Homo-oligomer: A and B are copies of this chain.
Amino acid sequence: MTRKREFPLAQVYGLLEPGPVVLVTTARAGRANIMPMSWHTMMEFVPPLVGCVISNLNYTFETLRTTGECVINVPTAELAKMVVACGNVSGQSEDKFKTLGLTPVAASVVKPPLIAECYANLECKVMDRTLVSAYDLFILEVVKAWIDPERKNSKTLHHRGYGRFAIDGRIISLPSRMR
């Protein structure tokens, strides 16, 4: 993939633990879709497991439940307007890659495409559906990860509701015994 290189699975938690809004790509019958998501958490370091809540009102829910595959793409602050636009239309009626001017790139393990413009991409498979019907909670395993090595410390977006976001500011580093 252009410019991107494989990212160690054991370091994936450092991308999602800080709580960035992400874009989830799914695909069904050869057609890809994109959905912004902020309700996710790391659940295990290795293999990296991610819990995410995707409302059954979203078009993505049924696709993910049926296909069991998705890609979590991490956008940077420059893409904020696109992220909000992505949430304002439904994938049922529009081809979001076309509408939003994004570039799909073939993934290596799963069918849904990576979004080239996002600085990190995590190929995922659904590995536990126990709480899908009760809470719309999918537990995903990240099976392959990609990062743009030139944008490793990118500023991400943190949704506070209704289109308000905090953008990453200063980075601090303190001596810690915790991973």
Contacts and interface: CB of A to CB of B under 8 A. Distances in A.
A30 interface: no
Copies of this chain: 2
Contact of A53 (B41, B52, B161, B178): B41
Interface string A30-62: 000000101111111000010111000000000
A36 B178 CA distance: 10
A81 B174 contact: yes
A164 interface: yes
A92 interface: no
Interface stretch (A12-20, A64-72, A93-101, A118-126): A12-20
Interface in A120-155: 128, 130-131, 134-135, 137, 139, 155
Nearest to A13: B161
A161 B178 CA distance: 8
A20 B41 CA distance: 11
Contact of A43 (B14, B17, B135): B135
Nearest to A38: B17
A169 B168 contact: yes
A29 interface: no
A91 interface: no
A4 interface: no
A109 interface: no
Contacts of A164: 171-174
A2 interface: no
Report, nearest first, the 3 A-B pairs whose CB atoms are least far apart.
A19-B19, A169-B169, A163-B176
Given A165-B172, A166-B171, 11 more contacts: A18-B160, A19-B20, A41-B52, A51-B135, A81-B174, A88-B176, A163-B178, A165-B171, A166-B169, A166-B170, A167-B168
